[in-house]
Amino acid sequence: MIRLGVNVDHVATVRQARLTYEPDPVFAAYLAELGGADQITVHLREDRRHIQERDLRILRQTVTTRLNLEMAADEKILEIALDVKPEQATLVPERRQEVTTEGGLDVKRMMKRLSSVIQRLQDKEIFVSLFIAPEEEAVRASARVGADGVEFHTGEYANTRGDSERISQLERLRKACELGHSLGLHIAAGHGLTYTNIHPIKNLPYLEEVNIGHSIIARAIYVGIEEAVRQMKELLK
């Protein structure tokens, strides 16, 4: 069964809109686990627009599944990650102006920095995944730089309109999964995945994990987090 990572950043986004104490992503993470989440994912951004260091530190104590920290390969965040020790770190590109993580890491260009960050995380027994586009060059570079796994950016797939575009994006993802696996990488996918577009994704070869935030938290507004997670888990079966 594919591992479901539930990203609770949006819960913190609502809290930060009023700079208050509610809703609390820690409580949301607890409910997500009750609904069947296999992993809690948070992105501690440099600008702290949603998740705060306090959230991450409490989640480290309360999450009973796995904690996956999405992070830029930035020194200050790295020091926090090495101290908090999540089970997994997913390295992502970060731009202050973006609404969400818009593209994959440019692994080839960042080779030197990434290999040192990956090594330091792995020295603390943190599993390291790289968030990349499903492209041959990025997959090969991820294996070369020593990552344990990759998370393929499914944003372009999610934005497709019509069958032919969708099929070609799925084919691109399929090839990337095959290649990643053949190079010894663990395979995950995420970004823009919803209750309606998840179906073909779950059949990708060697896929071990998906990370989903927006769609689950949006549905949670109507049905509650536990139920929203339960429904997504059901679709992943």
Site string for ligand PXP, 196-215 (x = CB under 6 A): ---------------xxxxx
Q: Residue 68 interacts with ligand PXP (CB under 6 A)? A: no
Q: Residue 12 interacts with ligand PXP (CB under 6 A)? A: no
Show contacts with ligand PXP in window 140-199 (CB under 6 A).
Answer: 151, 190-193
Q: Residue 101 interacts with ligand PXP (CB under 6 A)? A: yes
Active-site annotation holds for 53: no
For residue 65, the minimal CB distance to ligand PXP (Å) is 16
Q: Residue 7 interacts with ligand PXP (CB under 6 A)? A: yes
CB nearer to ligand PXP: pick between 51 and 179: 51
Cα separation of 121 and 126, whole Å? Answer: 5
Active-site annotation holds for 70: yes
Report the interface residues with ligand PXP, using CB under 6 A.
7, 9, 43, 70, 90, 92, 100-101, 131, 151, 190-193, 211-215
Please identify every residue annotated as catalytic.
Answer: 43, 70, 191
